[in-house]
Amino acid sequence: MNPPDEASAAWAALAAHRDNLAGTHLRELVGDADRIGLLTLEVADLRLDLSRQPLTATTVDLLVDLATEREVGRFVERMLSGEPVNSTEGRPALHTALRAPRDTTIEVDGADVVAAVHENLERMAHLARRIRSGEMVGATGTPIDSVVALGVGGSHLGPAMVSEALADLAHPEVELRFSSNLDGTDLVDALRGLDPVSTLVVVSSKSFTTAETLVAAAGARAWLADGVGSNGVGRHLVAVTGAPDRAGQWGVDPEMIFPVPQWVGGRFSLASAIGLALMVSIGPESFGELLGGMRAVDEHLAGTPFAANGPVMLGLLDVWHRSFLGAGSLAVVPYSSRLARFPSFLQQLMMESLGKRVTAEGSPVGVPTGGVVWGAPGTDGQHAFFQYLHQGTGSVPCDLIGFMRPGHDPGGTHHDMLVANLLAQAEALAVGRTPEEAEAEGTPPELVPHRTMPGNRPSTVVLAPELSPSVLGQLIALYEHRTVVAAALWGINPFDQWGVELGKTLARHFGRWLQAEPAGNGTPNPGAHEGSTSDLIGYYRRLRNSGGS
């Protein structure tokens, strides 16, 4: 993929259009009733309202021209068919195959990957049903009633997010816990109160070399051994990995190893065996509904014209905001406490995919690419950062996500007020409050500047019937494909993450330095690092070895 060419017809037309729109306030645009039909998109069960975005019919036409010029459709076709769109690693990116129908055929290196996907799903479901029914027992004959999932990044964020979102579906007699942080406290907290004789530890690492996960796994294995003996540990370990040989050498029974294909990246891997612990908790049927929701958006992406295509229009909107309008971030605010982890999940999905400064061919992109993704559930977010959104000196596009039917509504008043807040924030961000309006409300003159809201702050409202497994799958796939579309427009590879690797490599070296014998002045081999790092190593070692005094 080549970098975006600012001299191209579509890019130049959008730049000129941006200049023509300058000074046009959303207050002027939202009064146009025709915008509702133009800027409301239906994606499976999701309703996307883009009417509070800085878009006109002309903007949409020009954005579609850009998608056509950048051959977004061709890129999507290549991805869905299994071509190696992950150019720097020479691999396909076939996360969509993980939820493809059984009768689909997608070949990689002459083998049908869909058949293998469904074989693995059946193995996962078999294990999940055995645990959920109480049939699976540990080394002492005690039924397994607790599952601790170890993993980091894509091996953690998706399953943890979904397990919290669908907590009402969790098996009442099977406890699911997660540990992802290298801080030993995180593992201790995850194991606290559990009994090794009834606990299964699921170690998820695609490479089975991830330091954070393997350090935690060693600690969990020692904890298991204390409870069931060294010979019984194997009955309490499961590995989810793309390196089954390494997992076997580490001590996991081959029958308890579930493969992750090399052609799926971690942040896109929720629908693979990475979701095994989640499947145990919510059940194979609900997990299947989650995959079905993802599949519905996959099919929408593949078969819907650009102007009505939800993921395509959102990807175009991200490029419009970032590369043309200068927005540096995207706030995601789900009006559901169950989706508290959703912004964190999207941080990895979008920032790891779009945080690139060179194209897939290695040329400088030349324009700003992916911005910061952040957020929190509404209404908590309203009392944390919405002041910044309404009256800060910069404009931050927002996604406001809501559901028409509540999961819980004690007293029958919570949910209406929750949705009222979502709608009120969307309108307030767009139209603001003028000085004249503030004065008309009786605001003292000296306070008018403080109570004036500039408005013109864009938002997308995403509405769904309820937070079901299917709808959650649709939301996940919507953002996955939005991210891929934006990458195709910028010409970058959304499926690698080389920027993550340097720090991990250095950390391995630093671990050895921190444990090395000090030189005469108290630091290991002074001069091996730049001065400030050498000083910090020495400082750490002095306090570490003195017990912190």
DSSP secondary structure, 506-519, as one string: HHHHHHHHHHSPP-
Please give the sequence-ordered ranges of beta strands (E in DSSP) within 286-437, or none if there are none.
329-334, 372-375, 398-403
The structure tokens 């941080």 sit at 347
Active site residue: 126, 414, 450, 504, which one?
504
Q: Return d(Cα 139, Cα 161) in angstroms, integer.
A: 31
Point out which residues pair with 374 in neighbouring strands.
Answer: 331
- Helical H segments across 40-155, by residue range: 57-69, 72-81, 113-133
Q: Return d(Cα 301, Cα 441) in angstroms, integer.
A: 47
**Side chain identity at residue 213, one-letter code:** T
- Helical H segments across 175-283, by residue range: 184-191, 211-228, 244-250, 276-282
Residue 212's nearest CA partner among 8, 504, 492, 526 is: 504
Q: Return d(Cα 40, Cα 526) in angstroms, integer.
A: 62
- Helical H segments across 374-520, by residue range: 386-391, 414-431, 435-440, 469-490, 498-515
Q: Is 95 a catalytic residue?
A: no
Q: Return d(Cα 237, Cα 138) in angstroms, integer.
A: 10
Active site residue: 126, 383, 414, 450, which one?
383
CB-based contact 171:278 (threshold 8 Å): no
Q: How many CB atoms lie within 10 A of CB 324?
A: 20
Q: Is 356 a catalytic residue?
A: no
Active site residue: 206, 352, 480, 529, which one?
352
Q: Which residues are catalytic?
A: 352, 383, 504
